[in-house]
Structure 1
Amino acid sequence: MTRDKKRKAAIRETQAHTGRRYTQAAREITAATEREPTGFLLSQLLTECATIAPADVDWGYDCDLAPEVFHSRLFGGAVPYGTVLELAGSLAQEGRSARLTLESMSPLEVAVVVCGKRRFQLILTQDMARELCQTPACPNDQPGWAFLHCSSHLPDCNGDALVSMTEEWAYGFKTDAGRDMERREGSAEADLLIKAATANGTYERASKALLDSLFAAPDELDDLFWSEEETLAMQHAIERERLRLHNVARSEARRLWKIFGACSTCGGRLNAYGWDPSVPPRFCSANCVPPASCPSQDSATTERLAEQRPAGRSAR
C-alpha cells in the first residue's frame, strides 16, 4: 500500500468519524501530521484504549490480517489496541502519570512518541511498540534492552553513562548465560559497547566494568568456587575475553584513524605515539583533547539505569 493510498484511507476514516467533506478532512490530516508536538498522559491514552469502540479502516488489503484499531483523538488517527498495551507495558515503571509527546505521526503506518528521554515507535499496522535510540529523530532501534542509543550514537554518551550501560547489560547477560563460560564470551553487544568506549576514550573503564560484571572482579574469584579447576576456568575465560576486547578496541581505533585522517585539534598524525586507550582516536595525544570533549546527551542516564530493571528483554 503506497503512502498516498494510506493518506487517502486516513482521510476517508476521518470523514466517516466526523461527517466532514473530503477536502476539509484532508486539511485536518495534513495539519495533524505537520503540527507541533503535543503532550498527553499515558492514563489518557489508556482511557481512550479502554472506552473507544473499534474503528473501521480501509487498509487496502484483507482486514483479517490487520489489527483491531480505535480512532485516537490524541494521535489524530487509528491506533491498534495492542500497540497501546505494548507501550503501557514498556512504561510500567513510569506509571499512568507518564507524560508522552507525539514526535511524529504517519497515519496507518507508524507513530513516534517520547516519554522523558525515551522514544518509542508505535507500529500502526501491527500490535507492536518498540523502543528507539534516544537521540532525537533517530529512526534506529536500540541494540538491546540496556542500551539507550543505537550503535551510531553510543559514542555520544559520556563515560559514566557508557559504563552504567555496560554494567547493566553485562549483569543481565551473565544471568541469562548461567554458569556457561563460553556463552559469556564473544558477544556482539559487548563489541558495540567497547567500540563506543574506544571512540570516546573510555575503553579502560568500560572494559573493566564489562569483565567484572560479566565474570567477576579478580579479588572475588577465590570466594566463588570450591575447586581450583573452576577458578582456573573462570580466569582463563576472563583473560580470553580481555584479549578479545583489546583486539576489538585496537581495530576500532585503527578504523577511526583512517576516517578522521588527522588530529582534530592540531592536524598532526593520529597514531604517532601508538594507541592510547584514554585518548579518543580523533586526537593525537592527551594534550590535544579539550575538556569535556565527549558531550553527554543524557545527564540522567546513570540514575535511570540504576532504577531500571527490565520486565522483558529484547531478543538478542
Structure 2
Amino acid sequence: MTRDKKRKAAIRETQVQTGRRYTRAAREMTAAAEREPNGFLLSQLLTECATVAPAAVDWGYDSELAPEVFHSRLLGGAVPYGTVLELAGSLAQEGRSARLTLESMSPLEEAVVVCGNRRFQLILTQDMARELCQTPTCRSDQPGWAFLHCSSHLPDCSGDALVSMTEDWAYDFKTDAGRDVERLEGSAEADLLIKAATANGTYERVSKALLDSLFVAPDALDDMFWSDEETLAMQHAIERERLRLHNVARTEARRLWKVFGACVTCGGRLNAYGWDPSVPPRFCSAKCVPAAPGSSPDSAATVRPADQRPVEVPAW
C-alpha cells in the first residue's frame, strides 16, 4: 500500500470513528501531522478553548448526556471545554507558559498530554482531566498528590525521590490528622512507600523520614508536649508504627524473594543471609548490587556501608 493510500485509509477510519466529513477529518489529520514537535503552550490551548465555537459530535448516544466540545487543532480532535479548564487548574502553578506535548490521542475517548515530567489524561467523554503516573505510557493513577508514580512504578524511584515524596505526603497527612495520634498509624499510603523502599534497598532512609515527618523527631519530643502523658503516648505510637512498618517491609522482602526466585546477578539463594534492608531483595548480598553509573550515593542501586547495619526492632 502506497503512502497516499495509507493516508486515505487512516482518514476514512477517523471519519467512521468520529462521524465527521472526509474533508474535515483530512484537514485535522494534516494539522496534527504539522504540529510542532516541541508541543504547544497551555495559553494556546486556552485560547482555542475561549475562541473556538462548540462542535457537533456524533457520540452514538443521547447528546444531552455528553459534554460541550470544540475541535482542537492542537490536540487533533474534539475536546470538552471543561476538560481543558480542569487541566489548566492542575497546571496553575506552572502558569500559561507551561509547554505541553501530546503523547497519545484516541478520538472521542481520551488524550494524554505531558508537561515536564507530569502526565495528564484528558477524558473526552466528560469534563475531566486527571494526573497519571509519570512513567511513559502508564495509565494508572497516582495514589495521592504527593506521589509521582503509581504503586507499580514507585519501586523504580531513587531513594532521594522516595524520601521527598514521603516527607510531602507525611506532612500533609499529619496536618489533616491534627492531634489525633491514632490516625497517624496504619496508613495504606505509608505501606506503599515502605514497600517501594524495600524493593530498592532504601527502607531505613524512607522509614526514618516517614516517622520523623509523620510524628516528631525523637530529639524534639520534650519540646513538643507539656504533659508527660502526651509525650509517653507519642513515644508509644512512634514505636508501634516503627514495628508495624518493619513487619510490612519484611513481608514485602519475602514476597519479592519468591517473585525473583534467585539473585539476578549470581543466581544464588536470595535469603541465605537473612534480610538486609539496604540490599534490594532481587540481590543475594551487597556484593551483587551493581553500582549505577553516575548515580548518587543514595540511589536505589547503590548500597552504602553505613546502611548495612541490621534494623533495630523494639523489644517490647
- With normalisation by structure 1, the TM-score equals 0.84
Letter in 1 for 2:257: W
Deviation at 1:248, TM superposition (A): 0.5
**How many angstroms does 1:62 deviate by?**
1.4
Q: Is the 8 A contact 1:33 1:106 kept in 2?
A: no
Amino acid at match of 1:81: Y
Identify unmatched segments of 5+ residues in structure 1: 1-5, 16-21, 300-316
Equivalent residue number for residue 260 of structure 1: 260
Choose from 9, 19, 30 the match for 1:12.
19
Deviation of residue 35 (structure 1)? 8.6
Please say if residues 18 and 107 of structure 2, whose CA atoms lie closer than 8 Å, have aligned partners that are also in contact.
no
- Residue aligning to 2:122: 122
The reply on whether 1:152 has 2:147 as its aligned counterpart is no
Please name the residue that 2:97 is paired with.
97
In structure 1, distance between residues paired with 2:153 and 2:30? 31
One-letter amino acid matched to 2:61: Y
Q: Using the alignment, how far apart are the partners of 1:62 and 1:294 within structure 2?
A: 56
The 1:95/1:26 distance shift into structure 2, 3 A limit, reads closer
Compared CA separation, residues 123 and 276, structure 1 to 2 (3 A): same
1:205 maps to what in 2? Answer: 205
**Preserved contact between residue 67 and residue 125 of structure 2 (Cα < 8 Å):** yes
SS in 1 for 2:170: helix
What corresponds to 1:43 in structure 2?
43
- What do the CA deviations read for 1:153-210 (whole angstroms, capped 9, x no partner)? 1111111011101111111111111111111111111111000000000000000000
Measured in 2, the distance between the counterparts of 1:152 and 1:123 equals 23
TM (norm. structure 2) is: 0.84
Alignment of 1:63 with 2:70, yes or no, is no
**Structure 2 counterpart of 1:63, which letter?**
S
For residues 294 and 228 of structure 1, the distance between their equivalents in structure 2, rounded to whole angstroms, comes to: 48
Q: 2 CA distance for matches of 1:257 and 1:294?
A: 28
1:162–1:193: 8 Å Cα contact kept in structure 2?
A: yes
Q: Contact (CA 8 Å) 1:158, 1:295: kept in 2 or not?
A: no
Structure 2 residue ranges without an equivalent (≥5): 1-12, 300-316
Report if aligned partners of 2:18, 2:57 keep a CA contact under 8 Å in 1: no
SS of 1:198's equivalent in the other structure is: helix
Could you say which structure has the larger radius of gyration?
Answer: 2
Q: How far 1:212 sits from its partner (Å)?
A: 0.4
Specify the alignment match of 1:250 in structure 2: 250
Q: Give the corresponding residue for 1:108.
A: 108
CA distance in 2, matches of 1:178, 1:7: 53
AA partner of residue 122 (structure 1) = L
The answer to whether the 8 A contact 1:194-1:203 is kept is: yes
- 2:194 counterpart letter in structure 1: I
Q: Report 1 or 2 for greater relative contact order, CA contacts < 8 Å, sequence distance ≥ 6.
A: 1
Contact 2:32 2:73 in 1 (8 A): no
Q: Which moved more, 1:28-37 or 1:159-168?
A: 28-37
State how far apart, in whole Å, the 2-side matches of 1:64 and 1:74 are: 26
Amino acid at match of 2:185: E
Q: C-alpha separation between the residues in 1 aligned to 2:157 and 2:50?
A: 39
**Partner of 1:104: helix, strand, or coil?**
strand
Q: Secondary structure at the match of 2:242?
A: helix
Paired residues of 1:11 and 1:29 also in contact (CA < 8 A): no
- Structure 1 distance, partners of 2:153, 2:29, is 31
- 8 A contact 1:132–1:141 mirrored in 2: yes
